[in-house]
Amino acid sequence: MNQRRQFLSHGIGLAALGLGAGPALADSATSRLFHQSLERDPRLSVYADTAGELAGDAVVHGRLPADLNGVFYRNGPGRFELGGERYHHWFDGDGFAQRWQIGGGRVAHRGRFVLTKKFEDESRAGRFLYPAFGTYIDRRAVKNNDTVNVANTNLLPFNGGVYALWEGGSAIELDPLTLATRGVKTWRADLKSMPFSAHPKIDPDGGLWNFGSVQGGDRLVIYRLNAAGEVTRTAMVPVPRLTMVHDFVVSGRHLIFLVPPYAMAGDPDLSLAESLRWEGGARPLRAVVVDKDTLALRQVFELPARSVFHLGNAFEDGACTRLDAVLHEGDILPDPGLPMRGQMREYREGRSSTVQITLDYASGQAREARLFGVSEFPRVAPQVVSSRHRKLAVLGADGVDQAFVLNTVNLIDTDSGKADSYAFGAGWQVEEHVLVPRRGARSETDAYLVGVAQDVRRGQTVMTVFDAHNIKAGPRALARLAYRAPVCFHGNFLAS
């Protein structure tokens, strides 16, 4: 059966994306509020608009490791304003891909927009035309998922190519060296324009697992690609009341998805973010387990209601599966929209925590062990994905700015719960950090922890390099740009 046709026939179309008829709701008032606040609060600069390409050599402070060579690819939203209007939500911005070339003690940076159909159509028109995640706009007809694809969430090097990924549409292929846009990537003809999530998992054999979903469709589509980029397996898994699923984890025998308790409103005049209604008082957070061999639903577990964006890793532990996740109390979706209007999110202890969840198949029960406090962006070393891991990198917030600003880097020992941590302090916003194994690494800490941080007082973006075995000693090297580059969500390191 044509899986693309079947997937779309189960309610996964433009209506499920919240793309029906309705008025244009983007406005200039949001822009005025933001710029008035920016004059008083430099922390908001990381949410400012970006225009054009960026390129430059970084000034290196400290000493870069001689064996750290490669490219650190990153991606995030860069264009928030057009035609005097400003988006309402941070997730709406058009994708701005970045590459940090590292080698020979030097670091060079390049950044440019992903030239999606949406970006090019709106650039020619001089105003926003299509609906976004948190801002409803209805000025031009939407033909399929890729009409509204912002390609702003991750940058994946895979099988010699580099792909800008988003939540609800195709991967967009870029030139690995120049970041020039090559076009929409169709992995197989019958999968054209199908959602291909921004959080694929690379198996030890070089192959790739990924999924796709559209809110309100009640179906997960599963993809398995081999190391040559060929689709070898696909399946659709029915999941009742499926709404927002952003990430997943892969263990030796399972694919695991955490489904928070949202429901979809039926109002076509709302953006997707506005149409997602929190039902945490009535429904649980669900852990949906899919068998890797059969690609069929194995079991569903219930946990106390929380929202979730990101998961760490999963592995089999006897008759159980254990996985890491960052869980947020209540509805987290409105929070990233506040800075777009010039409001910083208030720091609140207990608003989120990193936990390890144990799924016990015999009892049907899920248990939690808290690993860390306020946090986000969990990552493990690439060589342990889907197998037993003992180290988990996360960002944290210490509240020194009285706002929810991620400004600490932490490597958690998942056995003891102890964390090796470094705090950048006030005036910094830290982005996701990734573990880069040294050649021939024998342990998870035989690695570097590489990331990016925003120095908001100087208006500069800085690449950071830590020794993974001693985070508390601080960065071994800082590679400072003379300019500010857009904040990124996710990225990956490609060693050379």
Please give the angle made by the CA atoms of 45, 49 and 52, to the nearest 5 degrees: 125
What's the structural domain count of the chain? 1
Q: pLDDT tens for residues 332-387?
A: 998 888 999 999 888 777 789 999 999 999 999 999 999 999 999 999 999 999 99
Structure tokens at 360: 């016990």
CA–CA separation, 126 vs 183, rounded Å?
Answer: 22
CA–CA separation, 152 vs 77, rounded Å?
Answer: 5
Q: Which residue has the higher pLDDT, 226 or 27?
A: 226
CA–CA separation, 354 vs 360, rounded Å?
Answer: 19
What's the confidence (pLDDT) of residue 327?
Answer: 97
What's the confidence (pLDDT) of residue 44?
Answer: 92
Whole-model pTM: value is: 0.94
The answer, yes or no, to whether residue 5 has pLDDT greater than 80, is no
Q: pLDDT tens for residues 168-177?
A: 999 999 999 9
> Which amino acid is present at 156?
L
Please give the angle made by the CA atoms of 203, 204 and 207, to the nearest 5 degrees: 45
CATH of residue 17's domain is 2.130.10.10
Question: How many other C-beta atoms can be found within 10 angstroms of the C-beta atom of residue 228?
Answer: 10
CA–CA separation, 58 vs 100, rounded Å?
Answer: 9
Q: Chain-wide mean pLDDT for the chain?
A: 92
Q: Which of 63, 62, 65, 61 lies closest to 447, judged by CA?
A: 65
| Three-class secondary structure assignment of the chain | CCHHHHHHHCCCCCCCCCCCCCCCCCEHHHHHHHHHHHCCCHHHHHHCCCCCCEEEECEEEECCCCCCCEEEEEEEEEECEECCEECCCHHHCEEEEEEEEEECCEEEEEEEECCCHHHHHHHHHCCCCCCCCCCCCCCCCCCCHHHHCCCCCEEEEECCEEEEECCCCCEEEECCCCCCEEEEECCCHHHCCCCCCCCCEECCCCCEEEEECCCCCCEEEEEEECCCCCEEEEEEEECCCCCCCCCCEECCCEEEEEECCEEECCCCCCCHHHHEEECCCCCCEEEEEEECCCCCEEEEEEECCCEEEEEEEEEEECCEEEEEEEEECCCCCCHHHHHHHCCCCECCCCCEEEEEEEEECCCCEEEEEEEECCEEEEECCHHHCCCCCCEEEEEECCCCCCECCCCEEEEEECCCCCEEEEECCCCEEECCCEEEECCCCCCCCCEEEEEEEEECCCCEEEEEEEECCCHHHCCCEEEECCCCCCCCCEEEEEEC
What's the confidence (pLDDT) of residue 27?
Answer: 66
> What percent of the chain has a predicted confidence (pLDDT) above 70?
94
Q: Is 442 exposed, middle or buried (0-12, 13-18, 19+ CB in 10 A)?
A: exposed
Q: pLDDT tens for residues 143-181?
A: 999 999 999 999 999 999 999 999 899 999 999 999 999
Structure tokens at 297: 């639903």
Please give the angle made by the CA atoms of 450, 454 and 458, to the nearest 5 degrees: 135
CA–CA separation, 144 vs 197, rounded Å?
Answer: 16
Q: pLDDT tens for residues 255-301?
A: 999 999 999 887 888 898 999 999 999 999 999 999 999 999 999 99
The answer, yes or no, to whether residue 3 has pLDDT greater than 80, is no
Indicate the pairing of strand 320-328 with strand 307-317. Answer: antiparallel
The average pLDDT across 120-133 equals: 97
The answer, yes or no, to whether residue 402 has pLDDT greater than 90, is no
The average pLDDT across 433-456 equals: 96
261-298 burial, b at 16+ Cβ within 10 Å, e below that, comes to bbbbeeeeebbbbbbbebbbeebbbbbbbbebeebeeb
Structure tokens at 273: 């973010």
- Split at pLDDT 50, 70, 90, the class of 4 is low
What's the confidence (pLDDT) of residue 25?
Answer: 55
What's the confidence (pLDDT) of residue 345?
Answer: 81
Range of the domain at 467: 3-495
For residue 230, what are the contacts with CB-CB under 8 A and spacing of at least 6? none
Q: In Å, how far are 74, 343, 465, 467 from 152, measured between CA atoms?
A: 10, 22, 24, 29
The answer, yes or no, to whether residue 13 has pLDDT greater than 50, is no
Q: In Å, how far are 92, 208, 321, 327, 335 from 131, measured between CA atoms?
A: 9, 30, 39, 28, 20
- Split at pLDDT 50, 70, 90, the class of 20 is very low
CA–CA separation, 224 vs 322, rounded Å?
Answer: 22
> Which amino acid is present at 66?
A
Q: pLDDT tens for residues 450-490?
A: 999 999 999 999 999 999 999 999 999 999 999 999 999 99
